[in-house]
Amino acid sequence: MKRREFLCAAGAATAGAFAGRLWAADPAKGRFLLVFLRGGYDCANLLIPYSSSDYYATRPKIAIARPDPQSATGALALDSDWAIAPAVRDPMGAMYKRGELAFIPFAGTEDLTRSHFETQDSIELGQPLGATRNYTSGFLARLAAQLTGPAPISFTDALPLSFKGTVDIPNISLRSVGKPVFDDRQSALLASMYSGNHLEAAVTDGLELRKEVSQTMQEEMTAANRGAITTKGFALEADGIGRLMRDKYGLGFVDIGGWDTHVNQGSAQGNLANNLQNLAGGLSTLADTLGSEWRNTVVVVVSEFGRTFRENGNGGTDHGHGSVYWVLGGSIHGGQIAGRQQRVAVNTLFQNRDYPVLNEYRSVLGGMFRSMWSLSPDALQQVFPGTTPLDLQLV
Amino acid sequence: MPERWQPRRARPWLIASLSAGAILIASCAQKPARPDLRAEGPVLTREDALWLNRVTFGLDEATVAQYRLLGREGFLNAQLEDRGTLPDAIAAQIAALPVSHVEANTVLYDVEQRRKDINALPNPPDKEQARKALDEEGNRLDYQAERREMLRAIYSSDQLREQMEWFWLNHFNVYVYKANLRWLVGDYAEEAIRPHALGRFRDLVLATLKHPAMLEYLDNAQNAVGHINENYARELMELHTLGVDGGYTQQDVQNLARILTGVGVRNKPEEPKLRRELQGYYVHSGAFEFNPARHDFGTKVLLGKEIGGRGFGEVEQAVDLLVRQPACARFISRKLAAYFVSDNPPPALIARMAQTFQATDGQISAVLRTLFNSPEFEASLGSKFKDPEHYVVSALRLAYDTHPITNTKPAIGWVNGLGERSFNHQTPDGYALTETGWASSGQMSKRFEIARQIGSGNAGLFNPEDGGTPAPGGFPQLSNRLYFDAIEPLLSPTTVSTLAQTASPQEWNTFLLASPEFNYR
């Protein structure tokens, strides 16, 4: 199928008519995807502080060897202090060079519980710390309410806290999507049972989105199957995300689990390396699928916290604090290590244990959102109350 | 096998349409075959049906009969105090499962030995193949453990105990794909959780603390003096006993981790070789061991209380300290109320439950009695959204309560499809207990698809588990006695009139299972 035909077919599935609200179907104003690594990934083994001798001293089992300019497979130096892990050098090294990828070390939330669940919640809610939490108001839902262009969608089985709000945000996991099950008459009858029920919007959105996504995916699969490369894991999902975001949705969320590496996390190879490779492969697929729209897209990869700077007794790391965020996009000012930084050494660790947080995530994201959509100060206050945006000039 | 719909018999969805006042379009010759079901009228009031629906995994004929016999108080007493029964056919299925005859320690010795043998294989492809085969064996045991839980949930008369079994397995969550847990989850459910499901909370904490499944899952098996791993220590306070706002600090986490050093797994028959002065401190039972050579004998301070180094006694003292904190009574009471009463349980109810918790030193059945006898419970009936386990089990109780299924795979597949498969939650927080975890747009459409699978065929529920000739198919008869006795009174006029517009009995089944009333308890 030619691209134009495909757009017609996708258009025929009618966009944006979701229950609570009407979103314009044109995402060209700027797309944003948040990728949440649940479990607290060990950022120091992704973005390696290779000029720090303490890094090597405190991670005897798991440290990744210093970059060797002669090697095509080891860590890849980005500058005189930082290198990226061998597991991601292949797609990510080139992306960084092209200026489509940046890293923000010492990023995160000031939440200090070091609890996965507490910190994830606190990031997804995006509310000031210390105040009573409102669990029905996530920051992406508040952002969606400020934007008229990009239609929101969550590529997850359940609706994440980030997207909880007063209107229903559609969600669907792309890990497996089959053919539609109910015809129009049945869908209408099912929806009618929930008329007036507080789940009405979820029910009608669910039936509608299921139909639409199956159609889109089915058509694209058929079109693309000929020379199809076999993708798996996150790459497969990312391909679907790319298609849907290219043609219709502008504000997305997806999460990936499996980052809580307390034991045997490995070094250049091993559990963490496999996860990072899977992630990097997916992000690169996403860029490919978005095609020319990649330049209107910004992807940010976050995690609830970093891990302990020192390895623990089991070849793993425990819950820490500051993390390293990734920023990707076809027209970002990448190719740099962005944000406030400090020297990496044992005596600069936060609580003698972790990376500090120097780039608070609400300020960082707030700054990006402001540039992407020219949000007014008032609108930004709605998204991240009490935050002063930090402009890292990445987007 | 389930009844097949035959055109000459009454069409069940037409019976339903009568109650909606719709026009009967069938000819008079097609008289309903079982008009008596309607004529008798419901045997439970709406209030009783709602109550019973919440106290159980969902209504079935046997619980309705028992409730009519015992009344509300008698039924609750029986659920809280007595041991119930399983239908013979189900008991026989469970007894025949290999997982019912596996002990944690012997199976671990065996698996560890075989892992060593595999590692010694010279040829990498052989190694890989042998590893896969071993994991497959483990997967089969895991599946059997899930099957046992599912069969009991559907068919046991101990409906409250079965829900508590699920609740605690979720509270003390473990993840089957970590370490050797495939071989251990069955034993964990059977030995660590089930005996204490309605018992004393302290016993539950200690039983999970001493089980290799938990020790492997949260890495305490690796926690040793000089090699601290604080994973389990943190979750023991945050998720198992006190809650994240329970008043402990990072310092407490580190000190509890020190207390827990040496608490680990014994995966070989031989005892560790210990220096003479340490031998007296060695503790073991089954696959659990406390190895004093790995323990930090220094003095620790936990929650402001000094705990002198003396071996495993420290651990018991720490658990006592944790479970007797008012924060623990509140945290557990709140979670029970979130499961049985409301997503936002009333603070007054939590306070009364916490009071009972403290007064009885954590007697779970007593705390539940406070809950079930409360006006808050009464007021909440019919408004709690069913999580996937409740949803699938209640549908199967309605469809096949008097006709024991022989194949549990489809049922487990449905719960899995809805995202709540047992032993499959990777992180220690367990599955959500609230509606927002299960009622997003994507989840609702998925649920309707599963309603269709349950309603329009038997999906292989009567096939032999181990291959062989599949049993002939057929869809369940949901407009059955139970439906007219106790479920129809729960339906809203909208649902009734929607059911009247269905085009086939399969569709009628699907829509009943998709209706709001069937999705709440």
Least Cα separation, residue B466 to chain A (angstroms):
27
Cβ-contact A163, B469 below 8 angstroms: no
Copy the structure tokens of residue B61: 């004929």
Give the distance from CA B514 to its chain's centroid: 22
Instruction: Answer whether A199 sits within 8 Å of B439, measured CB to CB.
Output: yes
Average of per-residue pLDDT across A196-204: 94
Residue A102 pLDDT level (bands cut at 50, 70, 90): very high
**pLDDT tens track for B414-465:** 999 999 999 999 889 999 999 999 999 999 999 999 999 999 988 999 999 8
Q: What is the pLDDT of residue B397?
A: 97
Pick from B415, B148, B444: which is nearest to A170 by CA?
Answer: B444
Distance, in Å, from the CA atom of B482 to the CA atom of B59, rounded to the nearest integer, reads: 8
Domain ranges (residues) in chain B? 12-81+385-519, 83-212, 218-311, 326-374
Q: What is the pLDDT of residue A221?
A: 56
**pLDDT tens track for B236-259:** 999 999 999 999 999 999 999 999
Q: What is the pLDDT of residue B193?
A: 98
CB-nearest to B494 from A112, A181, A195 is A195
**A394 belongs to a structural domain:** no
Q: What is the pLDDT of residue A218?
A: 67
Instruction: Answer whether A39 sits within 8 Å of B427, measured CB to CB.
Output: yes
- A160 interfaces chain B, CB cutoff of 8 Å: no
Q: Count CB-CB contacts under 10 A for residue A160.
A: 24
Residue A8 pLDDT level (bands cut at 50, 70, 90): very low
Instruction: Answer whether B219 sits within 8 Å of A203, measured CB to CB.
Output: no
Copy the structure tokens of residue B301: 């301070």
DSSP state at residue A192? H
Distance, in Å, from the CA atom of A120 to the CA atom of A361, rounded to the nearest integer, reads: 12
Report which residue type is found at B465: E
Pick from A349, A335, A316, A343: which is nearest to A76 by CA?
Answer: A335
Task: Tell me which chain B residues have a C-beta less than 8 angstroms from the C-beta of A182.
Answer: 448-449, 452
**A112 belongs to a structural domain:** yes
Percentage of chain A modeled with pLDDT above 70: 89
What would the DSSP string read from start to end of A13-38?
T--S--TT----S--TT-EEEEEEET
Q: Count CB-CB contacts under 10 A for residue B278.
A: 15
Tracing tokens 């190694």 back to the chain, one arrives at: B127
Cβ burial of A80 (10 Å; 0-12, 13-18, 19+) is exposed
Chain B residues 413-472 with CB within 8 Å of chain A: 419, 426-427, 429, 432, 436-446, 448-449, 452
Which has more pLDDT, A348 or B37?
A348
Cβ-contact A146, A182 below 8 angstroms: no
Tracing tokens 């549990």 back to the chain, one arrives at: B408
Query: What's the length of chain B?
Result: 521
User: CA angle, A200 as apex, A196 and A204 as ends, to 5°?
Assistant: 135
Distance, in Å, from the CA atom of A384 to the CA atom of B55, rounded to the nearest integer, reads: 43
Q: Does residue B304 sit in helix, strand or coil? A: coil
Tracing tokens 């190895």 back to the chain, one arrives at: B291
Average of per-residue pLDDT across A190-205: 94
Least Cα separation, residue B66 to chain A (angstroms):
32
* Residues B501/A169/A278/A105 CA torsion (nearest 10 deg): -170
**pLDDT tens track for A118-137:** 899 999 999 998 877 888 89
- ipTM for the complex? 0.87
Q: What is the pLDDT of residue A265?
A: 94
- A320 interfaces chain B, CB cutoff of 8 Å: no
Q: What residues contact residue A259 under an 8 Å CB cut-off, 6+ apart?
A: A37, A38, A39, A40, A41, A42, A272, A275, A303
What would the DSSP string read from start to end of B407-445?
--HHHHHHHHHTT--TT---STT-S--SGGGT-SHHHHH
**pLDDT tens track for A31-82:** 999 999 999 999 999 999 999 999 999 999 999 999 999 998 999 999 999 9
Backbone angles phi, psi at B468, to 5 degrees: 85, -175
Tracing tokens 């009407």 back to the chain, one arrives at: A22
Average of per-residue pLDDT across B39-62: 90
Into how many domains does chain A fold? 1
Residue A228 pLDDT level (bands cut at 50, 70, 90): very low
Q: What residues contact residue B497 under an 8 Å CB cut-off, 6+ apart?
A: B20, B22
Residue B78 region by backbone torsions, left for phi larger than 0, else alpha for psi between -120 and 50, else beta: alpha
Residue A9 has pLDDT above 60, yes or no: no
Average of per-residue pLDDT across B492-513: 96
Q: What is the pLDDT of residue B40?
A: 62
Q: What is the mean pLDDT of chain B?
A: 91
Q: What is the pLDDT of residue A173?
A: 87
Chain B residues 199-258 with CB within 8 Å of chain A: 219, 222-224, 226-231, 234, 238-239, 244, 250, 253
Find the range with the poorest average confidence among A1-15, A198-212, B72-86.
Answer: A1-15
CB-nearest to B514 from A118, A190, A263 is A190
Cβ burial of A315 (10 Å; 0-12, 13-18, 19+) is buried
Chain A residues 257-316 with CB within 8 Å of chain B: 257-258, 260, 262-263, 312-314, 316
Angle between helices B312-323 and B201-209 (to 10 degrees): 140
Could you report how far apart the first and last alpha carbons of chain B are, in Å? Answer: 28
Residue A279 has pLDDT above 50, yes or no: yes
Distance, in Å, from the CA atom of A116 to the CA atom of A319, rounded to the nearest integer, reads: 8
Residue B361 pLDDT level (bands cut at 50, 70, 90): very high
Backbone angles phi, psi at B289, to 5 degrees: -145, 150
Q: What residues contact residue A64 under an 8 Å CB cut-off, 6+ apart?
A: A45, A48, A75, A83, A85, A86, A267, A268
Q: What is the pLDDT of residue A136?
A: 86
Instruction: Answer whether B440 sits within 8 Å of A314, measured CB to CB.
Output: no
Q: What is the pLDDT of residue A220?
A: 58
What would the DSSP string read from start to end of B25-47?
-S-TTS--S-HHHHHH--SS-HH
Exposure string for B37-62, b = 16+ CB within 10 A, e = fewer: bbeeebbbeeebbbbbbbbbbbbbbb
Distance, in Å, from the CA atom of B188 to the CA atom of B210, rounded to the nearest integer, reads: 10
Q: Count CB-CB contacts under 10 A for residue A55.
A: 21
Residue B35 has pLDDT above 50, yes or no: no
Please list the alpha-helical segments (H only) found in A225-266.
Answer: 234-247
**pLDDT tens track for A284-326:** 999 999 999 999 999 999 999 999 999 998 899 999 999 999 9
Residue B151 has pLDDT above 70, yes or no: yes
Q: Does residue A260 sit in helix, strand or coil? A: coil
Q: What is the pLDDT of residue B7?
A: 29
Distance, in Å, from the CA atom of B511 to the CA atom of B515, rounded to the nearest integer, reads: 6
Find the range with the poorest average confidence among A43-47, A127-131, A176-180, B152-156.
Answer: A176-180
Instruction: Answer whether B502 sits within 8 Å of A172, measured CB to CB.
Output: no
Residue B323 has pLDDT above 80, yes or no: yes
Instruction: Answer whether B229 sits within 8 Å of A316, measured CB to CB.
Output: yes
Q: What is the pLDDT of residue A79?
A: 97
Distance, in Å, from the CA atom of B81 to the CA atom of B71, rounded to the nearest integer, reads: 15
Give the CA distances from residue A222 to residues A178, A193, A217, A226, A227, in Å, rounded to whole numbers and listed in that order. 13, 35, 8, 8, 11
Average of per-residue pLDDT across B344-358: 98
**A133 belongs to a structural domain:** yes
Q: What is the pLDDT of residue B466?
A: 80
**Boundaries of domain holding A148:** 3-173+229-383
Residue A385 has pLDDT above 70, yes or no: yes
Average of per-residue pLDDT across B296-301: 98
- B126 interfaces chain A, CB cutoff of 8 Å: no
Q: What is the pLDDT of residue A3?
A: 36
Strands in A11-100 per DSSP E: 31-37, 47-49, 76-77, 82-84
Q: Does residue B244 sit in helix, strand or coil? A: coil
Residue B344 pLDDT level (bands cut at 50, 70, 90): very high
Tracing tokens 């600069």 back to the chain, one arrives at: A348
Name the residue in chain B with its Cα closest to that of A204: B441
Find the range with the poorest average confidence among A10-14, B39-43, B109-113, B129-133.
Answer: A10-14
Distance, in Å, from the CA atom of B416 to the CA atom of B426, rounded to the nearest integer, reads: 13
In the beta sheet, which residues pair with residue B519? none
Average of per-residue pLDDT across B178-189: 96
Distance, in Å, from the CA atom of B155 to the CA atom of B161, rounded to the nearest integer, reads: 12
Find the range with the poorest average confidence among A20-29, A210-219, B224-233.
Answer: A20-29
Residue A186 has pLDDT above 80, yes or no: yes
Q: Count CB-CB contacts under 10 A for residue B457.
A: 17
Q: What is the pLDDT of residue A149?
A: 78
**pLDDT tens track for B86-110:** 999 999 999 999 999 998 888 999 9
Instruction: Answer whether B442 sits within 8 Å of A189, measured CB to CB.
Output: no
Instruction: Answer whether B442 sits within 8 Å of A209, measured CB to CB.
Output: yes
Distance, in Å, from the CA atom of A158 to the CA atom of A60, rounded to the nearest integer, reads: 40
Residue A213 pLDDT level (bands cut at 50, 70, 90): confident
Q: Count CB-CB contacts under 10 A for residue A325.
A: 25
Tracing tokens 């954590």 back to the chain, one arrives at: B362
- Residue A136, domain CATH: 3.40.720
DSSP state at residue A370? H
Distance, in Å, from the CA atom of B44 to the CA atom of A387, rounded to the nearest integer, reads: 57
**A284 belongs to a structural domain:** yes
Task: Tell me which chain B residues have a C-beta less than 8 angstroms from the C-beta of A116.
Answer: 427, 429
Strands A76-77 and A82-84: antiparallel
Cβ-contact B363, B332 below 8 angstroms: no
- A137 interfaces chain B, CB cutoff of 8 Å: no
Residue B369 has pLDDT above 80, yes or no: yes
Pick from A298, A254, A295: which is nearest to A278 by CA?
Answer: A254
Q: What is the pLDDT of residue B26?
A: 34
Residue A2 has pLDDT above 70, yes or no: no
Q: What is the mean pLDDT of chain A?
A: 88
